Protein backbone atom coordinates (compact mmCIF):
# COMPACT_ATOMS: atom_id res chain seq x y z
CA UNK A 1 0.00 0.00 0.00
CA UNK A 2 1.14 3.55 -0.77
CA UNK A 3 2.68 5.18 2.31
CA UNK A 4 2.36 8.82 3.31
CA UNK A 5 4.18 10.68 6.07
CA UNK A 6 3.44 13.98 7.82
CA UNK A 7 6.41 15.51 9.62
CA UNK A 8 6.54 18.53 11.91
CA UNK A 9 9.61 20.73 12.37
CA UNK A 10 9.72 24.04 14.28
CA UNK A 11 6.25 25.55 14.15
CA UNK A 12 2.88 25.68 15.86
CA UNK A 13 1.51 22.43 14.32
CA UNK A 14 -1.43 24.43 12.97
CA UNK A 15 -1.02 23.05 9.46
CA UNK A 16 -1.00 19.48 10.74
CA UNK A 17 -4.20 20.25 12.67
CA UNK A 18 -5.71 21.65 9.48
CA UNK A 19 -4.90 18.38 7.71
CA UNK A 20 -6.81 16.57 10.44
CA UNK A 21 -9.68 18.99 9.84
CA UNK A 22 -10.09 17.49 6.36
CA UNK A 23 -12.31 14.95 8.17
CA UNK A 24 -14.31 13.19 5.42
CA UNK A 25 -11.40 13.40 2.97
CA UNK A 26 -9.04 11.87 5.55
CA UNK A 27 -11.38 8.91 6.05
CA UNK A 28 -11.45 8.33 2.30
CA UNK A 29 -7.70 8.76 2.07
CA UNK A 30 -6.87 6.11 4.65
CA UNK A 31 -8.92 3.63 2.64
CA UNK A 32 -6.45 4.09 -0.23
CA UNK A 33 -3.12 4.77 1.49
CA UNK A 34 -1.29 4.09 4.72
CA UNK A 35 -0.40 7.15 6.80
CA UNK A 36 2.62 5.45 8.30
CA UNK A 37 4.16 8.51 9.97
CA UNK A 38 2.14 11.25 11.69
CA UNK A 39 3.39 11.67 15.30
CA UNK A 40 0.93 14.48 16.06
CA UNK A 41 -2.06 12.24 15.35
CA UNK A 42 -1.04 8.64 16.08
CA UNK A 43 1.13 6.55 18.38
CA UNK A 44 2.36 3.90 15.96
CA UNK A 45 4.74 5.49 13.48
CA UNK A 46 7.18 4.03 10.97
CA UNK A 47 9.77 6.32 9.43
CA UNK A 48 10.41 4.24 6.34
CA UNK A 49 9.96 4.87 2.63
CA UNK A 50 7.22 7.30 1.57
CA UNK A 51 5.41 8.03 -1.66
CA UNK A 52 4.69 11.50 -0.28
CA UNK A 53 6.17 13.21 2.78
CA UNK A 54 4.50 16.41 3.93
CA UNK A 55 6.68 18.70 6.04
CA UNK A 56 5.40 21.49 8.28
CA UNK A 57 7.56 24.07 10.08
CA UNK A 58 10.83 25.83 9.46
CA UNK A 59 14.31 24.36 9.81
CA UNK A 60 15.45 26.05 13.03
CA UNK A 61 17.54 23.44 14.85
CA UNK A 62 20.18 20.89 13.95
CA UNK A 63 17.60 18.21 14.71
CA UNK A 64 15.16 19.80 12.22
CA UNK A 65 17.89 19.74 9.57
CA UNK A 66 18.75 16.10 10.27
CA UNK A 67 15.09 15.03 10.13
CA UNK A 68 14.26 16.80 6.89
CA UNK A 69 17.39 15.56 5.15
CA UNK A 70 16.58 12.00 6.17
CA UNK A 71 12.97 12.51 5.09
CA UNK A 72 14.11 13.74 1.68
CA UNK A 73 16.15 10.57 1.19
CA UNK A 74 13.14 8.40 2.01
CA UNK A 75 10.42 10.27 0.06
CA UNK A 76 9.57 10.08 -3.62
CA UNK A 77 7.76 13.41 -3.31
CA UNK A 78 8.41 15.96 -0.57
CA UNK A 79 5.78 18.66 -0.08
CA UNK A 80 6.29 21.73 2.13
CA UNK A 81 3.06 22.73 3.87
CA UNK A 82 2.41 26.12 5.46
CA UNK A 83 4.31 29.38 5.31
CA UNK A 84 6.98 28.26 7.78
CA UNK A 85 7.99 25.31 5.62
CA UNK A 86 7.57 27.19 2.33
CA UNK A 87 9.26 30.50 3.19
CA UNK A 88 10.63 30.38 6.72
CA UNK A 89 7.52 31.93 8.21
CA UNK A 90 7.02 34.48 10.95
CA UNK A 91 10.07 33.28 12.87
CA UNK A 92 12.38 34.22 9.99
CA UNK A 93 11.08 37.74 9.36
CA UNK A 94 14.08 39.39 11.07
CA UNK A 95 16.78 37.08 9.69
CA UNK A 96 18.34 39.93 7.72
CA UNK A 97 18.21 42.40 10.60
CA UNK A 98 20.01 40.64 13.46
CA UNK A 99 22.55 37.91 14.12
CA UNK A 100 21.53 34.63 15.71
CA UNK A 101 23.31 35.66 18.92
CA UNK A 102 21.37 38.93 19.06
CA UNK A 103 18.10 37.05 18.56
CA UNK A 104 18.89 34.58 21.36
CA UNK A 105 19.83 37.36 23.76
CA UNK A 106 16.67 39.32 22.97
CA UNK A 107 14.34 36.33 23.39
CA UNK A 108 16.05 34.11 25.98
CA UNK A 109 18.57 36.43 27.61
CA UNK A 110 21.46 34.09 26.77
CA UNK A 111 23.30 32.71 23.78
CA UNK A 112 23.46 29.05 24.78
CA UNK A 113 20.38 26.79 24.70
CA UNK A 114 19.89 23.06 25.41
CA UNK A 115 19.43 22.46 21.66
CA UNK A 116 21.58 23.59 18.76
CA UNK A 117 19.65 26.36 17.03
CA UNK A 118 20.15 28.28 13.79
CA UNK A 119 18.37 31.03 11.93
CA UNK A 120 15.00 29.73 10.68
CA UNK A 121 15.02 28.56 7.07
CA UNK A 122 12.46 27.31 4.61
CA UNK A 123 12.61 23.59 3.83
CA UNK A 124 13.65 24.39 0.23
CA UNK A 125 16.76 26.14 1.58
CA UNK A 126 17.92 22.79 2.97
CA UNK A 127 16.59 20.08 0.62
CA UNK A 128 14.84 19.78 -2.73
CA UNK A 129 11.10 20.40 -2.42
CA UNK A 130 8.74 19.06 -5.08
CA UNK A 131 5.64 21.11 -4.25
CA UNK A 132 4.66 23.87 -1.84
CA UNK A 133 1.28 24.45 -0.16
CA UNK A 134 1.64 27.81 1.60
CA UNK A 135 -0.65 29.55 4.06
CA UNK A 136 -0.95 30.07 7.80
CA UNK A 137 -2.39 27.50 8.03
CA UNK A 138 -2.41 25.81 4.61
CA UNK A 139 -5.75 25.55 2.84
CA UNK A 140 -7.05 22.02 3.46
CA UNK A 141 -8.74 21.93 0.05
CA UNK A 142 -5.35 22.37 -1.58
CA UNK A 143 -3.95 19.55 0.57
CA UNK A 144 -6.68 17.20 -0.66
CA UNK A 145 -6.16 18.32 -4.25
CA UNK A 146 -2.37 17.86 -4.00
CA UNK A 147 -2.65 14.34 -2.55
CA UNK A 148 -5.21 13.27 -5.16
CA UNK A 149 -3.16 14.73 -8.02
CA UNK A 150 0.15 13.19 -6.99
CA UNK A 151 -1.36 9.76 -6.34
CA UNK A 152 -2.94 9.87 -9.81
CA UNK A 153 0.31 10.85 -11.49
CA UNK A 154 -0.79 14.43 -12.16
CA UNK A 155 1.34 17.46 -11.32
CA UNK A 156 -0.61 19.78 -8.96
CA UNK A 157 -1.02 23.23 -10.47
CA UNK A 158 -1.64 26.37 -8.42
CA UNK A 159 -1.70 29.57 -10.52
CA UNK A 160 0.06 32.35 -8.60
CA UNK A 161 -2.57 35.02 -9.15
CA UNK A 162 -3.07 37.72 -6.47
CA UNK A 163 -5.67 37.53 -3.73
CA UNK A 164 -7.44 40.50 -5.36
CA UNK A 165 -8.63 38.06 -8.02
CA UNK A 166 -10.49 36.03 -5.42
CA UNK A 167 -12.00 39.17 -3.93
CA UNK A 168 -13.35 40.09 -7.34
CA UNK A 169 -14.85 36.62 -7.82
CA UNK A 170 -16.57 36.75 -4.43
CA UNK A 171 -17.60 40.41 -4.91
CA UNK A 172 -15.78 41.41 -1.73
CA UNK A 173 -15.44 45.17 -1.45
CA UNK A 174 -11.83 46.30 -1.87
CA UNK A 175 -10.40 47.05 1.58
CA UNK A 176 -7.55 49.10 0.15
CA UNK A 177 -10.09 51.58 -1.24
CA UNK A 178 -11.57 51.77 2.27
CA UNK A 179 -8.18 52.70 3.75
CA UNK A 180 -7.49 49.30 5.37
CA UNK A 181 -3.90 48.01 4.97
CA UNK A 182 -4.12 44.91 2.77
CA UNK A 183 -1.50 42.84 0.95
CA UNK A 184 -3.91 41.31 -1.54
CA UNK A 185 -2.27 42.86 -4.65
CA UNK A 186 1.09 41.14 -3.99
CA UNK A 187 -0.01 37.89 -2.31
CA UNK A 188 -0.49 34.41 -3.80
CA UNK A 189 -4.20 33.50 -3.92
CA UNK A 190 -5.75 30.10 -3.25
CA UNK A 191 -7.16 30.52 0.24
CA UNK A 192 -10.54 31.85 -0.88
CA UNK A 193 -9.75 35.22 0.73
CA UNK A 194 -11.56 34.62 4.06
CA UNK A 195 -9.75 37.49 5.78
CA UNK A 196 -10.84 40.19 3.36
CA UNK A 197 -14.38 38.78 3.32
CA UNK A 198 -14.40 39.35 7.10
CA UNK A 199 -13.16 42.92 6.75
CA UNK A 200 -9.54 42.15 7.70
CA UNK A 201 -6.78 43.12 5.30
CA UNK A 202 -4.74 40.29 3.75
CA UNK A 203 -1.65 39.63 5.87
CA UNK A 204 0.35 38.00 3.08
CA UNK A 205 0.64 34.57 4.72
CA UNK A 206 0.67 32.74 1.37
CA UNK A 207 3.73 34.55 0.08
CA UNK A 208 4.33 36.27 -3.24
CA UNK A 209 2.11 36.11 -6.27
CA UNK A 210 3.75 36.26 -9.69
CA UNK A 211 5.44 39.60 -10.44
CA UNK A 212 4.58 41.43 -7.17
CA UNK A 213 5.06 45.19 -7.33
CA UNK A 214 6.33 45.87 -3.82
CA UNK A 215 7.38 49.46 -4.52
CA UNK A 216 3.82 50.41 -5.45
CA UNK A 217 2.44 48.28 -2.59
CA UNK A 218 4.51 50.27 -0.09
CA UNK A 219 3.16 53.51 -1.55
CA UNK A 220 -0.42 52.24 -1.20
CA UNK A 221 0.21 51.18 2.41
CA UNK A 222 1.66 54.62 3.14
CA UNK A 223 -1.52 56.21 1.82
CA UNK A 224 -3.40 53.94 4.21
CA UNK A 225 -1.52 55.34 7.18
CA UNK A 226 1.67 53.28 7.55
CA UNK A 227 5.17 54.71 7.56
CA UNK A 228 7.62 53.33 5.00
CA UNK A 229 9.37 51.27 7.64
CA UNK A 230 6.13 49.86 9.04
CA UNK A 231 4.88 49.07 5.53
CA UNK A 232 8.03 47.07 4.76
CA UNK A 233 7.84 45.25 8.11
CA UNK A 234 4.16 44.47 7.46
CA UNK A 235 5.08 42.90 4.11
CA UNK A 236 7.91 40.86 5.65
CA UNK A 237 5.96 39.15 8.45
CA UNK A 238 5.23 35.84 6.69
CA UNK A 239 7.47 36.01 3.64
CA UNK A 240 10.76 34.76 5.08
CA UNK A 241 13.38 34.46 2.33
CA UNK A 242 10.89 35.92 -0.18
CA UNK A 243 11.40 39.28 1.56
CA UNK A 244 14.53 39.62 -0.57
CA UNK A 245 12.19 40.38 -3.48
CA UNK A 246 11.00 43.57 -1.78
CA UNK A 247 13.18 45.79 -3.94
CA UNK A 248 12.39 49.46 -3.50
CA UNK A 249 13.68 52.55 -5.26
CA UNK A 250 16.73 54.26 -3.77
CA UNK A 251 14.68 57.07 -2.28
CA UNK A 252 12.19 54.72 -0.67
CA UNK A 253 14.98 52.59 0.81
CA UNK A 254 16.53 55.67 2.38
CA UNK A 255 13.17 56.62 3.87
CA UNK A 256 12.83 53.09 5.23
CA UNK A 257 16.19 53.27 6.96
CA UNK A 258 15.24 56.53 8.58
CA UNK A 259 11.79 55.39 9.63
**Whether residues 61 and 141 fall in one domain:** yes
Provide the pLDDT confidence category of residue 123 given band limits of 50, 70 and 90. very high
Domain end residue (candidates: 151, 173, 195): 151
Q: So what's the pLDDT on residue 24?
A: 87
pLDDT band at 23 (very low <50, low <70, confident <90, very high): confident
> Residue 244 above 50 pLDDT?
yes
Share of the chain above pLDDT 70, in %: 96
| Among 105, 120, 151, residue at a domain's last position | 151
Domain that holds residue 74: 3-151
151, 186, 202 — which closes off a domain?
151
Mean pLDDT of 191-201: 96
Asked whether residue 36 is assigned to any structural domain, the reply reads yes
Q: Does 255 have pLDDT greater than 50?
A: no
pTM of the model: 0.92
Pair type for strands 3-8 and 50-56? parallel
SS3 letters for 208-219? ECCCCCHHHHHH
3-state secondary structure of 117: strand
* Tens digits of residue pLDDT in 38-69: 999 999 999 999 999 999 999 999 999 999 99
102 and 187 part of one domain:
no
On the question of pLDDT at 215 being above 80, the answer is yes
CATH number of the domain bearing residue 97: 3.40.50.700
Number of domains the chain is built from: 2
Separation of alpha carbons 79 and 86, rounded Å:
9
Across 215-236, average pLDDT:
95
Asked if 180 and 201 touch (Cβ cutoff 8 Å), the reply is: yes
Task: Tell me what the pLDDT averaged over the chain comes to.
Answer: 93
pLDDT at 105: 94
Statement to judge: residues 20 and 147 lie in one domain: yes
Q: Note the pLDDT of residue 259.
A: 41
Residues 131 and 193 in one domain: no
- Judgement on whether residues 233 and 118 belong to the same structural domain of the protein: no
One domain, residues 137 and 209 = no
The answer for residues whose C-beta is within 8 angstroms of residue 220's C-beta and 6 or more apart is 176, 185
pLDDT for res 27 = 87
Q: Report the pLDDT averaged over residues 170-195.
A: 96
For residue 217, being part of any structural domain is answered with yes
CA distances from 64 to 17, 70, 162 (A): 19, 10, 32
The pLDDT value given to residue 30: 86
- Please write the tens of the pLDDT for every residue from 126-178: 999 999 999 999 999 999 999 999 999 999 999 999 999 999 999 999 999 99
| 57 contact partners, CB below 8 Å, separation of at least 6 | 8, 9, 10, 11, 13, 64, 82, 84, 85, 89
So what's the pLDDT on residue 249? 59
From residue 67, alpha-carbon distances to 57, 72, 76, 114, 250 in Å are 12, 9, 16, 18, 42
Q: What is the pLDDT of residues 7-16, one digit of tens each?
A: 999 999 999 9
Same domain, 199 and 244: yes
Same domain, 146 and 180: no
Residue 253 pLDDT greater than 70, yes or no? no
Residue 157, domain member (yes or no): no
The answer to whether the beta carbons of residues 151 and 33 sit under 8 Å apart is yes
Q: Are residues 19 and 86 in the same domain?
A: yes
Amino acid sequence: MVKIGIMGLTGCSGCQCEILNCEEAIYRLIEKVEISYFPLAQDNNSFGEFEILFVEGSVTTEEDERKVKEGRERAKFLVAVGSCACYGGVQSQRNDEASLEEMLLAVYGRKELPVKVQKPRAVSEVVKVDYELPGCPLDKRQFVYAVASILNGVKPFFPKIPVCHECKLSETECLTLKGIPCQGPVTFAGCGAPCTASGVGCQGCRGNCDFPNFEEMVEILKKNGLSTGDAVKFLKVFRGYQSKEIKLSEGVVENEKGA
